[in-house]
Amino acid sequence: MSAPPAPASRAPRWFVPGDLNGFFGLVVDNLSILGFIAAALIGLFGVPAEIVFGRMFPGTALGVLVGNLLYTAMARRLAARSGRDDVTAMPLGLDAPTSIGMALLVLGPAFAAWRQQGLDPQAAGINTWQLGMASLVVMGLLKLALSFAGDAITRLVPRAALLGSIGGAALVLLGFLPLVEALRVPVVGLVTLGLLLYVLAARGPLPVRVPGVLFAFLVGTALYYGLGLAGALPGFALPAPAPLAFSPPWPSLGFVDGLPATVPYLSLLLPFGLLMVIGGINVAESARAAGDDYRTRDVLLVEAASTLVAGVCGGVAQTTPYIGQPAYKHMGARSGYTLLTGLFVGLGGMLGIVSGLVQWLPLAALAPIIVYVGLDIAVQAFHSTRREHAIAVALAFLPAVAYLLAIKFGNPAWIPPERLAALYAERGGHGLPEMATLLALGNGFIITAMLWATALVALIDGRPGRAVAVLLLGAVLTAFGVIHSAHPQGAVYLPWALEGVRRELAWQFAGAYAALAVVLGLLALQRRKEAPAA
């Protein structure tokens, strides 16, 4: 008896009611990140607004459009192949830690450095834009190459090192720095942060059925404009209306001009790209556990392609799949929400709609959202690692603290450049100059954190040989300035070209790694020799 023919699978629907919930959640995430980037670059560093909104944002938005369109197509293909109508697309947007890190650690400081060299704001802004383009191309190429080796990376680098390095950056850079900005308008910032903790950490009920983040943001925004219009906020001013302007993100070779400027920042950019690859692997596993079996390599290739497209077309912030795919599935979203988000952010970025919206988003209400993201990432670093590796996660936080201090001390408003140079070379008491040591500890802090945590995890797991190899790698990277750069701005160099305090600093730090490697290696030999007798 022949088997009955399989029923013909229907084409999945383009939109379902749950797609509207998913659309609002994903759009708010992207707009909040764009809003903080604009506030940081324009408000904190003085980058011309027309360069941020007219050159950086269109290409950045195009990356969101391309990535979401590709993930929509992947979801519809999976639904058609499996015959299921409950397949949820992978959500894609701007990555909060690295996007904000690009603004605070790369683009903003680079703009300030060009201004100190005498460039006018427009020329410095163009250079900063080209640096951002080049940075995205560098990270996109790295992600493209690592898309085929993601599993090997997760085997080589322990989770405590990966999550601890980004957790430290999240806590002090996404948590502390935005907290300072939020509390510059304390009534708005503290109320918004408290509401976020109430709805997200304490799971408190709300009087209306809206996402908790949106509720907190709306309350903070209402407070900001209400108090501002009532004259209760010093320095309050309504933003100037932004005219709609079509700014197509055409491909260009501007990133080529920015490539030389990426060299001092490679110790930040390469870990940013690596962490997104690891994040993409985790996201694919999360979606698979929720029932949607996407191929990990396809997820990573889309992430790399959208980042490259954004970089070539003028973008300055990389895209990534969001970890919350099961949450969007729980909302009832399918594939329509990523299509709507891509079109809204992409076309809105080209038409100036996104720039107009972003200018009305108050930093005091946006910053607490970033603070919560930083706290959540830092906590996840502990929750997602083995208990005995928790000390490695905590150790990985420390270099980020040094980098936070370096950001503040390197601010000309705090310490004039000539005074900083004097402190860098000044000896006070024993050892190396304190300021030079602080800056060296912060330079390359993400890679430093990964190396420290990897070596400690190896020791905890009884693999001293692996720890020795990691420390020797640290000595080599230190010698060339990839980590612990003796240059105050973190540039790489040839060690034999250094002179004075910088030469001494580089060789002292490199020698410290080598000395620790030798000591641990000798201890490992001793333990191995005594093992049979025991």
Dist. CA 468–CA 513, nearest whole Å: 9
Q: Which residues contact 240 (CB under 8 A, 6 or more apart)?
A: 359
The number of residues making up the chain comes to 534
Residue 286 covered by a domain: no
At 158, the amino acid letter reads P
Q: Find the angle CA(444)-CA(447)-CA(451) to the nearest 5 degrees.
A: 130
Domain count, the chain: 2
Please tell me whether residues 51 and 84 are part of one structural domain.
Answer: yes
Please tell me whether residues 343 and 410 are part of one structural domain.
Answer: no
At 219, the amino acid letter reads V
Please tell me whether residues 325 and 182 are part of one structural domain.
Answer: yes
Please tell me whether residues 214 and 148 are part of one structural domain.
Answer: yes
Please tell me whether residues 174 and 116 are part of one structural domain.
Answer: yes
Residue 150 covered by a domain: yes
Please tell me whether residues 51 and 181 are part of one structural domain.
Answer: yes
Residue 8 covered by a domain: no
Please tell me whether residues 371 and 452 are part of one structural domain.
Answer: no
For 83, the token pair is 């015959």
Distance from chain centroid for Cα 411: 22
- Per-block average pLDDT, block size 10, for the chain (534 residues)? 48 81 80 85 89 92 95 92 87 84 87 90 95 95 83 74 79 83 91 91 86 85 92 82 75 91 84 78 75 86 94 93 74 86 91 82 83 80 87 92 81 71 72 85 86 94 93 94 83 82 89 95 73 48
What's residue 221's pLDDT? 92
What's residue 528's pLDDT? 53
Please tell me whether residues 332 and 409 are part of one structural domain.
Answer: no
What's residue 238's pLDDT? 82
Which range of residues forms the domain containing residue 214? 18-235+314-383
Whether the CB-CB separation of 451 and 164 falls below 8 Å is answered with: no
